[in-house]
Chains A and B, each alone.
Chain A
Amino acid sequence: MQLIRSFEEQVRNLSAGGAVPGLVHLCAGQEAVAVGVCSVLRPADMIASNHRGHGHCLAKGARSDLLMAEILGRRSGYGLGRSGSLHLVDIASGNLGTNGIVGGGIPLAAGAALSAKRRGRGDVAVCFFGDGALNQGLMFEVMNMAAIWRLPVLFICENNGYGEFTASEDVTAGRNPIERGAVFDISSDAVDGMDVLAVQEATRRAVARARAGKGPSFLVCTTYRYSGHHVGDHQDYKTEEEVKDWQRKDPILRLSRHLQDEGLATSAAIAALTADVDAEVQAAVAFAKAAPLPAPDDLRAYLYA
């Protein structure tokens, strides 16, 4: 989680300084969902991520240097520096990519689950999406098919309260998003998305069901994005109290308190880990900044297989 936090902090600085082409969407605050879910997955399990996906990529095993290089548009990045933050693919770690279309990754994960089911090795697929994607029709179509075909897929909703710049409650009907899974008889759980252990536990149950051929699950993880929709969003729609309230529930603070309370780690060990992670991210930034831009010949490369 600290790696993601530190990575996002650097991306924010680089973006504010003009080093990141285009728009970039940060996930600081939501680390517990990415890490809790991916900690249960095997390399052969596939994820499909969304526009706020750096954390998903890192949690699934992407290299921070190659990720940073792609975000900075450098040739050493995962997509030759041509695709950027919204299209980060790392198939080696089982990552079908972040996605520029809200809800776009949902059917891709279900398709990966269909392939996995045919292969019969017990692999699963996971899609991460926000509360905004709950209102895409595609979501319901895919949930229906995942249920009737008992696909080994996990629908992970990161409910951070906002779809872009609009409060989720202003555009979403129904008492609780969880009911949207229930109508398809999909096992659905409400999860504290600021508690990595709770996310891990709920994911473990869902993955076990999927590997056992019992079909899809839907987890609605309540969480919060500290940043705006993208870097540069002034977030006038948030109140100060709201932000402070959520910062008190910070997933990294919470886990470090838990580790110390239970005698599982000392504050010195946690500080050392944080320093290691910061050094890794600094190295990633240095690598990315030193990497070349794509060359003119890269314009047409890989258009067709």
Chain B
Amino acid sequence: MPEPRNLTYRGAVLDALFTEMRRDDTIIMLGEDIGVAGGVFKQTEGLIAEFGPERVIDTPISESGAFGIAVGAAMTGSRPVFEVMFGDFITLVMDQLVNQAAKVHYMSAGQIAVPLVLRTAVGVGANLGPQHSQSLHAWAAHIPGLKVVMPATPADAKGLMAAAIRDNNPVVFVEDRMLYNVRDLVPDGEYVVPIGRADVKRVGTDLSVIATSRMVQTALAAAELAAQEGISIEVVDPRSLVPLDIATIVSSVKKTSRAIVVDGGYRQYGITGEIAATIAEEAFDWLDAPVLRMGAANVPIPFSKSLEPLVLPSPRQLAEAAAKLVRGT
């Protein structure tokens, strides 16, 4: 076994792209500024030098048309990885994503598959304002026929990107740009994390925090704070929203009897509600407290340095909410 490498989250995704593109030459990439420019966050740096402009394709700023072309390419033997530069811009590709990519396998009774990855960067905290900071992954998770993946660590980011590329379905791969510089050990060479398996990121006994993407980091920090108060938090990372590993989540909640669901998307009609309701349906008799939801405040994300930090729950807020649930006060 080769030694694992210490990589950033950004570097881990890029490592998956290099590894997979070397393995399979039907994989192509399309997106804005991904070629010569190397990506707005340097997340595609070096790909064009190795694979050339035939496989690393700079598109015009025409998200809808370019994504539609990627869908058509996926229907006919290519395996595109399409980059939507900011998660907010998935609104521009929704018709092609929802009405074409998600449905054609079903509509054609399996005659056509769409092996495609839509990768996009989301996340509050870079002072980018209301149209560049949203986390709209719930929109994709609402649509049958799509898979939605949200890695929280560099190793998961690499392994899930490889799995997403190898999957024969359209997969929406959501990266939080505030994780891009997080470093950790990442397996070298081909590495695949199966889509649809949650991961317990920290074992605990008093309360389960089901956290997605960057909120996993928040939950781990909250667990440290809570531990100082004598409260033991278990952190469960679903890693993919569709399919959702309900068994792992429910088994954690049955053990701890309390749950908080936390996600970087809006709390209203969001995925926290979906997961909380699932827990209520599957583990009601084991619960000692109501299931709590925490997410982004239901407002356009302000760019102001005084307001933006108020949008997402902090580790302290999460630890306090957990303490309240555990103590019942």
Contact = CB atoms under 8 A, between A and B. Distances in A.
Interface of A: 46, 48, 78-80, 82-83, 87, 89-92, 96-97, 99-101, 104, 106-116, 118-119, 125, 137-138, 140-142, 144-145, 148-149, 301-305
Nearest to B242: A304
A303 B242 CA distance: 13
A96 B72 contact: yes
A82 B107 contact: yes
A148 B60 contact: yes
B54 A89 contact: no
Contacts of B168: 305
A305 B104 contact: no
Given A101-B99, A115-B76, A108 B68 contact: yes
Contacts of B103: 87
Given A303-B105, A303-B145, A305-B110, A104 B78 contact: no
Contacts, number: 146
Contact of B70 (A111, A125, A304): A111
A149 B78 CA distance: 16
Contact of B110 (A99, A114, A302): A302
Which residue, B28, B59, B65, B169, has most C-beta atoms of chain A within 10 A? Answer: B65
Contacts of A125: 72, 76
A87 B147 CA distance: 22
Contact of A142 (B28, B65, B109): B65
Interface of B: 28, 54, 57, 59-60, 62, 64-78, 95-96, 99-100, 103-115, 144-145, 147, 168-169
B107 A116 contact: no
Given A79-B107, A79-B108, A114-B72, 13 more contacts: A89-B107, A90-B111, A101-B100, A106-B68, A107-B66, A108-B71, A111-B68, A111-B73, A114-B28, A142-B69, A145-B59, A304-B145, A305-B168
Contacts of A112: 72-73, 75-76
Contacts of A113: 72
B172 to A, nearest CB: 14
Given A145-B59, A145-B62, A111 B77 contact: no
A116 B72 CA distance: 11
B69 A111 contact: yes
Given A96-B72, A112-B75, A115-B73, A145 B65 contact: yes
Contacts of B107: 79, 82-83, 87, 89, 97
Contacts of B99: 100-101, 104
A82 B111 CA distance: 14
A279 to B, nearest CB: 28
Which residue, B54, B60, B103, B107, has most C-beta atoms of chain A within 10 A? Answer: B107
Contacts of A48: 72
A110 B109 CA distance: 23
Contacts of A301: 109-110
Given A78-B108, A137-B64, A111 B113 contact: no
Contacts of B110: 301-302, 305
